[in-house]
Amino acid sequence: MGQRKWCLVRQLGQIEYREAYQLQKKLLQQRLESRIADTMLLLEHPPTITVGKSGKLENILASPAKLASAGVSLIFTDRGGDVTYHGPGQIVGYPIFDLRERNRDIHQYVHNLEEVLIRTLADYDIKSGRDHNHAGVWANDMEIAALGLSIRRWVTMHGFALNVNTDLDHFTLINPCGFSNKTAASMAQLLGRELPLAEVTKRLLARFVEVFDVDLIWDEPARESDYERQTATLV
């Protein structure tokens, strides 16, 4: 067996999209230069619509004035995919991973991210799965987690957004991921109750350890008491 890799976890709380983007770019460069280990950023964004590299403006269903009145920012970005929404109540994960150390296999990386989300949802008895034509995770034919990535010289940035307690009304402002005939779902909607984000994050990180075969270290030592370090277990 090969030696397990380390992954640094940084929990940022709620942070503006542009600020998180600049941090990702900085960390990507550091990872390219092997100055840091693989890193996972976990955070929330204030209400924000992002348009990916293949995004179409017709998938934004609200006028700029309506977006402004709703307090929703609009940002064009370099991730893959179409239009998506970020907001409070989501768990957003941005892994800065060096795929040169993971067989340069982008498809397996995407599959693994989806698997982490599928297993996390299963911990709450939510059955979910993949659409093999589009990255993301679906429950009851509704998108419950979006994926959008950017890869530079085999190092990843951007990532996933899992709807936990998200305000689904904001998804009516867009065609999520470009689908005019699909809607978004959240864990709270499907379960009929809100969930503590810290609890769901704990489950997600345990599944992340399991799927990616990594040991976790925390950027802020005070956080370690809240989560399993290294081999995570579930009860």
Is 7 labeled as catalytic in the residue annotation? no
Q: 155, 151, 159, 161: which is closest to 37 by C-alpha?
A: 155
Question: Half-sphere exposure (CA, 13 Å, Cβ side) for 76?
Answer: 5
Contact assessment for residue 89 and residue 165, using Cβ atoms and an 8 Å cutoff? yes
Among the listed residues 206, 200, 123, the one whose alpha carbon sits nearest the alpha carbon of residue 165? 200
Q: How many residues does the chain have?
A: 235
Residue 5 forms beta bridges with which residues? 214
Amino acid at 175: N
From the list 92, 116, 149, 177, the catalytic residue is: 177
Tokens of 16: 């503006």
Tell me the C-alpha distance between 18 and 77, whole Å: 9
Nearest to 179 by CA among 136, 227, 222: 136
Amino acid at 92: V
Cβ neighbors of 227 (< 8 A, separation 6 or more) are: 9, 201, 202, 205, 216, 218
CA–CA separation, 23 and 167 (whole Å): 26
The residues assigned a catalytic role are: 177
